[in-house]
Structure 1
Amino acid sequence: MVNDLKKKKLVLIDGNSIAYRAFFALPLLNNDKGIHTNAVYGFTMMLMKIIEEEKPTHILVAFDAGKTTFRHKTFEEYKGGRQKTPPELSEQFPFIRDLLDAYQISRYELENYEADDIIGTLSAIAEKEDFEIKVISGDKDLTQLSSEKTTVGITRKGITDIEQYTPMHVMEKYGLTPEQIIDMKGLMGDQSDNIPGVPGVGEKTAIKLLKEFSTLENLYESIENVSGAKLKEKLAEFKGQALMSKQLATIERQAPIDVTLESISFEGPEREKVVSLYKELGFSTLLEKMGQDPAEQVQLELEAVEYIIPDEITEDLFANENYFYVEMLDDNYHYADLIGFSLVNEKGNFYLPTKLALQSEVFKKWAEDERKTKIVYDAKRSEVSLRRYDIHLKGTEFDILMAAYLLNPSETMEDLAAIAKTYHIVNIQSDESFYGKGAKRGIPEKEDLAAHLVRKGIAMSELHTRLEDELKTNEQYELFKDLEMPLSLILADMESCGIKVEKERLQSMGRELNNRLIELEEKICELAGEKFNINSPKQLGVILFEKLNLPTFKKTKTGHSTSADVLEKLAPHHEIIEHILLYRQLGKLQSTYIEGLLKVIDPKTEKVHTRFQQTLTATGRLSSIDPNLQNIPIRLEEGRKIRQAFVPSEKGWVIFAADYSQIELRVMAHISEDQKLIEAFKEDLDIHTKTAMDVFHVSKDEVTSNMRRQAKAVNFGIIYGISDYGLSQNLGITRKEAAQFIDRYLNSFPGVKVYMDDIIHSAKQKGYVTTLLQRRRYIPEITSRNFNLRSFAERTAMNTPIQGSAADIIKKAMIDMDDALKDKGLKTRLLLQVHDELIFEAPEEEIDILKELVPLVMENAVELAVPLKVDYAYGPTWFDAK
């Protein structure tokens, strides 16, 4: 209960308004499941600020219940012309409601009324009960509610910068009382709400009239005293419209709400629910502020497990089928120390200490015996970690992690315990709860470690048959056995091999970049007229917005925002901006890529050994970490030059790169069976030019570079289920123009539209979609009653078969290339996979063979209705192989 002695304070929040403000104030953000989160994040930041600063005893967030309100009976066109809510925002409203529930904040909406009316009614009730009231909105209409007890906070640029409207502030700003705000709206109208007002009467004229006549009614009673014949004529002509506009702008303060002040008391957030939601949304920074890691420790009461720690490794420990678990403490297994093995088979449960096993020839012989079947957890990790000790693991028949991933790629598989828990096997502790985290992370006593690893082996034995049967039931066993399992060994080869990086060349680039940064810094300070710290957002904000008086687009709690999106909008206003943007880009290249790569060059091999994450993405794409070699920036020349440091590991060798041309568009042509797209690819036409011709109804010669650019954006955007809002942002055009463009595209390529409709229907029937090779992605939200969640799911359903099939194809190409290189006895080695590109190192004498072999193999990895096309290049560095 709220302490009666405490000053009662009510906070009322306009939910729709704040959500819109947050969405447009922050760049589009996504969590790991692809759900947009920027509006939820901004809303959360606002909530935290309000709770901290206002310390409310009562709080409510009001939402609009629908598009139609009682005001539409007065004026049908009320709020007409408003653009449809972007789906990227709509899909976030359920999460905003979940956020409020987690914070134990009341939310309310009332059919036929707006959020403003709920706020107006509750504030009126609270004033009579002697509450202090704070209203938060982005809509200045609510300033009419300010009084001695009610302050109205209106968000300005950004989300947490709030202008406080008291009666005194309203008077200072407009020269009017809060009650006169509705009279002002009656005269000048409100374009955002489509309130007409009196044509030709703006804010200044309205304020001048109200200072003289006080109210709209008084004005019309004394209209003969209005100076200016034209103004008087306009006022007389539109009297009815003015009075109606005032009525539309007036907030209802006696709405039939069924919430009481007692029912909206605020006791604070429910911590566990907030943590859970933050994890789901990927709000790592907010979790850290709560002193909470994304995964909490869970202590389990485990039954005793029987195991043997042998004094020596003998052949009679091993059976024909063995559940073999390789354990290391560090995630980066290229450098992590092995801390033990478990072996579970028909002969018993064994814990094999690291030193005992690695020094045993019997163990090595068994590990490398293909006839001895091994069921493992994470085959690639196990293989790479053992290779460091010159042991090549062979005979791996089943990978528990890979099977679980294929069965549900959207599920986060943190460790074996998480997979086991999914199948209701709870005799195993999570690694985090067992080993600890952060500074407390460490290896427990030998007996505890032995029991933990043996439990993992037992869990694998319980999971094996169930996972295998499920793969077969889902018709995914071939995908598992013929694609992902062989690929894991190829990736192990690539990771162990690594790619050579010339340290001296990177250091030289670093020096060059440093000189460029010094030059840029001098130029920026010269344009600014003084020296300052460019890396300080606060100092930069003072220069840009106070000294140079550039327009303000967004503010933060600490001052003016100088984020990249803000700077890009400022670019046309002053030449200093392009230098600042370049300074930042080069600074990131220097710190993240030059210095970052220098830190991870293995001093023994002079190579970097990235890790390919094979069981991470929902679409099946590979990702690269430690370091991420798939994300080296190539838009800037300086970024592309970083690839000059990647060289062959042997003299007389070159780097050979081959990439699929527009593979996702070709997959879309195949899946959609659109004849125009199929013909265009068969005739080897430029697909973006062809699209521009069809959409704009022009000949090839009439296609301009801008037409092709727009066609390219919609070609790739369609693959991802892009909305009119998303396309408008990409192309810098209006949403209406973007919507027309998408409609023209779908009319031009009807097969694509049929595919979109069919795949959504299929997903609703089955609950999942599949790729060409039967990779499956479950989409439970596809049948949600919530429009926003359903819309996001529909876009996912459209995209996954295309993007996932493209991922399958390049994986198949990697396996086929590995076989082809071995069949021909070539020395060429596959080093990297970067999206749709394969990078090899090869002896110069094998280049002529590769020029024929690589395109032949890659273009025939799968058979589509359109030809796959591969481009290749080679040179002394990765930079030259472009």
Structure 2
Amino acid sequence: MSEKIVLIDGHSILNRAFYGLPDLTNAEGLHTNAIYGFLTILFKTLEEENAQYLTVAFDEHAPTFRHNMYEAYKGTRKPMPQELREQVPIIRDVLEAMGVTIVSREGYEADDILGTLARKGEAAGMEVTVLSGDRDLLQLATEHVKIRIPKTRGGKTTVEDYDGRGVLEAYQLTPPQIIELKALMGDSSDNIPGIPGVGEKTATKILLEYGTIENAYAHVEEIKPNKAKESLKEHYDLAKLSKELATICTDCPLDYSFEEARLKDLFTQEAYEWFKELEFKNLLNRFENTSSKNKAEEHFQRVTDLSQADAFLSKAKKADRAGVHLLLEKGEVLGLGVALGEKEKIEAAFFPVEGFLTERYLLEQLEGICRGAGQTASLNVKEMLSRIQIEEHSRMFDGGIAAYLLNPLKSAYTYDDIAKEYLGLMVPAREDLLGKVSYKKGLEEKEEEVTVSCCYMAYVALAGIEPLTKALEETGMLSLFREMEMPLLFTLHDMEAAGIQVEGEELKEYGSRLEVRIKELESIIYQKAGEEFNINSPKQLGVILFEKMQLPGGKKTKTGYSTAADVLDKLAPDHSVVADILEYRQLTKLKSTYADGLANYIGEDGRIHSNFNQTITATGRISSTEPNLQNIPVRMELGRLIRKVFVPREGCIFLDADYSQIELRVLAHMSGDEKLIQAYSEAQDIHRMTASQVFHVPFDQVTDLQRRNAKAVNFGIVYGISSFGLSQDLSITRKEAAQYIENYFETYPKIKGFLDGLVKQGKEQGYVTTLFGRRRPVPELKSSNFMQRSFGERVAMNAPIQGTAADIIKIAMIRVNEALKERKLETKLILQVHDELLLEVYEEELEEVSRILEKEMKQAADLAVSLEIDMHTGRNWYEAK
């Protein structure tokens, strides 16, 4: 039986994978989708072909002869996207690590190399498989040379196979005639021009009759249709050039040995390290015999005996460092993981709630460890605080928060990711061990897997202390971690525990009022439309508005007309039915999300206990979930009225304070612009002053409209707004908006330099920083996509300002909460909404708490301009705001 060789077109398969798979990046921000797709196709092909030899051909960067021929005709080729370009040297390194033979030669393209090796292999009596996305290679197909063309769509790859007979069946032409076909019809993907006006159908018909372009030209007067005849007559030189471009060289001078290309074990130690670096977890199971698998699990144990538990946990209480993980699921304690030791000598144990190891026993032991050990690490300290009392945050280390600071762009900070990024270990993820099975169910069905998962969480928390601390120190964020994020964790826990009281009956009544207005709007909309339809269906709504009612501005997509808010907002001032629809949408959202939705979160104590998250947003802002209390509507009165259902407990009053224009004040300080600083120092109306400067009118003659427009410019600048965005916001021309922005930068000249400097820093360093050193990576600035780069520029300008404002309010929250505790006051900080703090104050404490709140918020940061707050009290949140 003949041996088989697989030849792969490196750039072609990499390119197919890049465009066929969604974007992927590893922890360092390296794009990896093309590499992952290439390897997936490679492994699948080798499994299917059962080959003995493998070679991958790559184009050299130097221009080839055929490339230069095309340049002479049409100029430069379309450049490779940067996200793909950066993956080319990596795949070559990965293949070398796997021991794969790579061939390239200056002056020849990959398909020339493939053509030469295919003919060599065939001559040596081998079966040859060529893998490429380039259909030019079909010209090589014979009885013993098979061309495989992969297609990747939606993450799924299918492959078309062609031998000599297969080409004839698919194209009605012999493999050598594929060259003639490309000469006539061209191939834009491979930079072959062809001749104008001749498609595949016409080209095939010509070749079936005349065989070659030379013979067709010899009989050009006989060719039909007339358009093809005239095109061939006029552009025969182009057809000949195209034929040369399409013809693959099969005798390149190559220094190549089949024996060197013989397949060996691809799954080497070096390849394993690359797969870890690239985070290809799904491919790591191919390395079953690799010695790199960590030995940590050899020191994991499941402990159910009380005396053994006492002995291990007693050691933990006296240790310099301990790693812990409280296994909680839906509020129920299922067990405790504890890790002790250093580096390779770390041992971990899992203690399930079982027998004498009761929930109470484990919580007492955990509390004892947190108080007794020199330092206790966990990947989710706040979750533990819901079940135990810990006062000294300086003795706690939260690895999840540390990992978040180091890379705030990730959606989660799991133990397996932290192990890979900071410990150099590939460990099984929770999903690898348990799939979709809950921990509670796992304790019944997968006891060993739960033990491994929980031990790893404690192990990684402990082992991660040193590398995470070092990384924080190197990036200048260690003090941010210790002095802001760790204390904040305790403040957020206190807020979650306190919760906010909700009047359930008031909430129902609010929902009923919304329901009445929604029904009214439905009737009005049906009447104006002349028929009933599903207002919530974008498809039906689009037909009604843009076909039946013939409203202007209809943009039809594959799924129907767009009825997005920005489309309807433009129509609303001139068409009352659109305004009604927008109001209907707002009210139905209010009812479902708030009037109905909030009721599901009211606890037995009549309070809502939201979760406050500090590892979700890239800028450092705190977010609120289950439910989101930071997204209570404020733009429309009916939306604001929902705040009336939030009330203080008996004997208390709400005290609400929010920073006045904090982001503009941060901008004034960070830019150092004297005019803006002076305006704040003199307590001027900043928007009126900006309007006076931008519109060149005296301060006392600024109109309300001019002030509103200036306000939009002021806040727009903070968010890196473009002339297009400002023109949309103010309903003015783009030219006028550009003039507004130009005038603004003339008024505050240092702001322009500051913002440009941020973009420059983002491009050079890959990140921007807040006043307190918090980093925000901006990988979008390196994108080859203009829209992505533009977004990156806006992020680079805004993140330091928004992030600094977020840092300031975090400092204020920590100080206010600590002051309340130090003075043993009953008042609680219960809510934070961006620049606003809400406190539930016992009435006899109001005067003292007001002083604390004002002092700590105003003195949270020492800026070139003062921090000012607006403070109000109320019998509900609506009144206080």
TM-score norm. by structure 2 comes to 0.65
Answering whether residue 203 of structure 2 is matched by residue 129 of structure 1, we say yes
Answering whether residue 334 of structure 2 is matched by residue 339 of structure 1, we say yes
Cα shift at 1:820? 1.9
Work out the CA distance in 2 between the residues paired with 1:329 and 1:123.
69
- What residue in structure 2 maps to residue 551 of structure 1? 552
- Describe the shift of the 1:745–1:573 C-alpha distance in structure 2 as closer, same or farther (beyond 3 A): closer
Work out the CA distance in 1 between the residues paired with 2:205 and 2:608.
64
- Describe the shift of the 1:553–1:262 C-alpha distance in structure 2 as closer, same or farther (beyond 3 A): farther
Cα shift at 1:795? 3.2
Work out the CA distance in 1 between the residues paired with 2:704 and 2:81.
39
Question: What is the CA RMSD across the aligned residues, in angstroms?
Answer: 4.3
- What residue in structure 2 maps to residue 853 of structure 1? 852
Match of 1:874, SS?
Answer: strand
- What residue in structure 1 maps to residue 601 of structure 2? 600
Q: Deviation per CA, 1:484-542, whole angstroms, max 9, x where unpaired?
A: 10110110111122111111111111111111111111222222333333333344344
The question of whether the paired residues in 1 share the 8 Å contact of 2:719 and 2:798 is answered with yes
- What residue in structure 1 maps to residue 39 of structure 2? none
The question of whether the paired residues in 2 share the 8 Å contact of 1:821 and 1:828 is answered with yes
- What residue in structure 2 maps to residue 14 of structure 1? none
Deviates more, 1:463-472 or 1:426-435: 426-435
Answering whether residue 619 of structure 2 is matched by residue 619 of structure 1, we say yes
The question of whether the paired residues in 2 share the 8 Å contact of 1:310 and 1:350 is answered with no
- What residue in structure 2 maps to residue 202 of structure 1? none
Q: How does 1:142-541 map to 2 (within 5 A)?
A: 303=295, 304-308=297-301, 309-312=303-306, 313-314=309-310, 316-318=314-316, 319-328=318-327, 335-346=330-341, 348-355=347-354, 356=357, 358-360=359-361, 362-363=364-365, 366-367=368-369, 369=371, 373-384=375-386, 386-387=387-388, 396-423=395-422, 425-437=424-436, 442-443=441-442, 444-541=445-542
Deviates more, 1:749-758 or 1:409-418: 409-418
- Describe the shift of the 1:682–1:552 C-alpha distance in structure 2 as closer, same or farther (beyond 3 A): closer
Match of 1:423, SS?
Answer: helix
- Describe the shift of the 1:557–1:408 C-alpha distance in structure 2 as closer, same or farther (beyond 3 A): closer
The question of whether the paired residues in 1 share the 8 Å contact of 2:83 and 2:783 is answered with no
Equivalent position amino acid for 1:555 in 2: K
Q: Deviation per CA, 1:367-423, whole angstroms, max 9, x where unpaired?
A: 562665311112112222x25xx8889774211111111122224434111121113
The question of whether the paired residues in 2 share the 8 Å contact of 1:812 and 1:861 is answered with yes
Work out the CA distance in 1 between the residues paired with 2:855 and 2:546.
58
Answering whether residue 621 of structure 2 is matched by residue 628 of structure 1, we say no
- What residue in structure 2 maps to residue 874 of structure 1? 873
Cα shift at 1:866? 0.3
The question of whether the paired residues in 1 share the 8 Å contact of 2:82 and 2:782 is answered with no
Work out the CA distance in 1 between the residues paired with 2:609 and 2:282.
31
Q: Deviation per CA, 1:303-353, whole angstroms, max 9, x where unpaired?
A: 5422341412425242333433325475xxxx4433322111139422121
Equivalent position amino acid for 1:341 in 2: L
Cα shift at 1:131? 9.2
Work out the CA distance in 1 between the residues paired with 2:613 and 2:243.
53
The question of whether the paired residues in 1 share the 8 Å contact of 2:325 and 2:336 is answered with yes
- Describe the shift of the 1:878–1:121 C-alpha distance in structure 2 as closer, same or farther (beyond 3 A): farther
- What residue in structure 1 maps to residue 804 of structure 2? 805
The question of whether the paired residues in 2 share the 8 Å contact of 1:417 and 1:430 is answered with yes
Equivalent position amino acid for 1:404 in 2: A
Match of 2:840, SS?
Answer: strand
Work out the CA distance in 2 between the residues paired with 1:256 and 1:787.
34
- Describe the shift of the 1:733–1:259 C-alpha distance in structure 2 as closer, same or farther (beyond 3 A): farther
Work out the CA distance in 2 between the residues paired with 1:512 and 1:776.
46
Structure 2, unpaired ranges of 5+: 1-24, 30-70, 73-79, 88-132, 134-150, 159-187, 207-224, 229-237, 249-279
The question of whether the paired residues in 1 share the 8 Å contact of 2:376 and 2:397 is answered with yes
Work out the CA distance in 2 between the residues paired with 1:258 and 1:827.
87
The question of whether the paired residues in 1 share the 8 Å contact of 2:377 and 2:399 is answered with yes
Cα shift at 1:697? 1.4
Equivalent position amino acid for 2:731 in 1: G
The question of whether the paired residues in 1 share the 8 Å contact of 2:370 and 2:396 is answered with no
Work out the CA distance in 1 between the residues paired with 2:549 and 2:782.
53
Work out the CA distance in 2 between the residues paired with 1:712 and 1:870.
18
Work out the CA distance in 2 between the residues paired with 1:93 and 1:691.
42
- Describe the shift of the 1:851–1:578 C-alpha distance in structure 2 as closer, same or farther (beyond 3 A): same
Match of 2:476, SS?
Answer: coil
Work out the CA distance in 1 between the residues paired with 2:857 and 2:192.
63
- What residue in structure 2 maps to residue 64 of structure 1? none
The question of whether the paired residues in 2 share the 8 Å contact of 1:632 and 1:639 is answered with yes
Work out the CA distance in 2 between the residues paired with 1:535 and 1:790.
35
Structure 1, unpaired ranges of 5+: 1-30, 36-68, 71-91, 106-113, 133-166, 168-177, 180-252, 264-293
The question of whether the paired residues in 1 share the 8 Å contact of 2:502 and 2:608 is answered with yes
- Describe the shift of the 1:563–1:777 C-alpha distance in structure 2 as closer, same or farther (beyond 3 A): closer
- What residue in structure 2 maps to residue 668 of structure 1? 667
Work out the CA distance in 1 between the residues paired with 2:377 and 2:852.
35
- Describe the shift of the 1:670–1:121 C-alpha distance in structure 2 as closer, same or farther (beyond 3 A): farther
Equivalent position amino acid for 1:669 in 2: A
Work out the CA distance in 2 between the residues paired with 1:98 and 1:519.
58
- What residue in structure 2 maps to residue 752 of structure 1? 751
The question of whether the paired residues in 2 share the 8 Å contact of 1:517 and 1:586 is answered with yes
- Describe the shift of the 1:569–1:762 C-alpha distance in structure 2 as closer, same or farther (beyond 3 A): closer
Work out the CA distance in 1 between the residues paired with 2:641 and 2:708.
26
Cα shift at 1:545? 3.3
Answering whether residue 769 of structure 2 is matched by residue 695 of structure 1, we say no
Work out the CA distance in 1 between the residues paired with 2:328 and 2:239.
64
Deviates more, 1:740-749 or 1:761-770: 761-770
Match of 2:300, SS?
Answer: coil
The question of whether the paired residues in 2 share the 8 Å contact of 1:323 and 1:461 is answered with yes
Match of 1:838, SS?
Answer: strand
- What residue in structure 2 maps to residue 644 of structure 1? 644
Equivalent position amino acid for 1:674 in 2: D
The total of aligned residue pairs comes to 642
Cα shift at 1:626? 0.9
Answering whether residue 649 of structure 2 is matched by residue 655 of structure 1, we say no
Work out the CA distance in 1 between the residues paired with 2:402 and 2:700.
52
Cα shift at 1:463? 1.6
Equivalent position amino acid for 1:398 in 2: F
Larger radius of gyration: 2
Work out the CA distance in 2 between the residues paired with 1:874 and 1:488.
27
Cα shift at 1:470? 2.0
- Describe the shift of the 1:257–1:341 C-alpha distance in structure 2 as closer, same or farther (beyond 3 A): farther
Cα shift at 1:767? 3.8
Q: How does 1:704-715 map to 2 (within 5 A)?
A: 704-715=703-714
Deviates more, 1:296-305 or 1:827-836: 296-305
**What percent of counterpart residues are identical?**
41
Cα shift at 1:779? 3.5
- Describe the shift of the 1:692–1:466 C-alpha distance in structure 2 as closer, same or farther (beyond 3 A): same
Work out the CA distance in 2 between the residues paired with 1:392 and 1:679.
43
Cα shift at 1:630? 0.7
- Describe the shift of the 1:670–1:615 C-alpha distance in structure 2 as closer, same or farther (beyond 3 A): same
Equivalent position amino acid for 1:627 in 2: P
Deviates more, 1:635-644 or 1:394-403: 394-403
The question of whether the paired residues in 1 share the 8 Å contact of 2:192 and 2:245 is answered with no
Cα shift at 1:465? 0.7
Q: How does 1:41-80 map to 2 (within 5 A)?
A: none
- What residue in structure 1 maps to residue 831 of structure 2? 832
Work out the CA distance in 1 between the residues paired with 2:241 and 2:591.
61
The question of whether the paired residues in 1 share the 8 Å contact of 2:759 and 2:793 is answered with yes
Work out the CA distance in 1 between the residues paired with 2:83 and 2:703.
43
Cα shift at 1:831? 0.5
Q: Deviation per CA, 1:528-586, whole angstroms, max 9, x where unpaired?
A: 33333333334434433343332351223344333333322332443222112111110
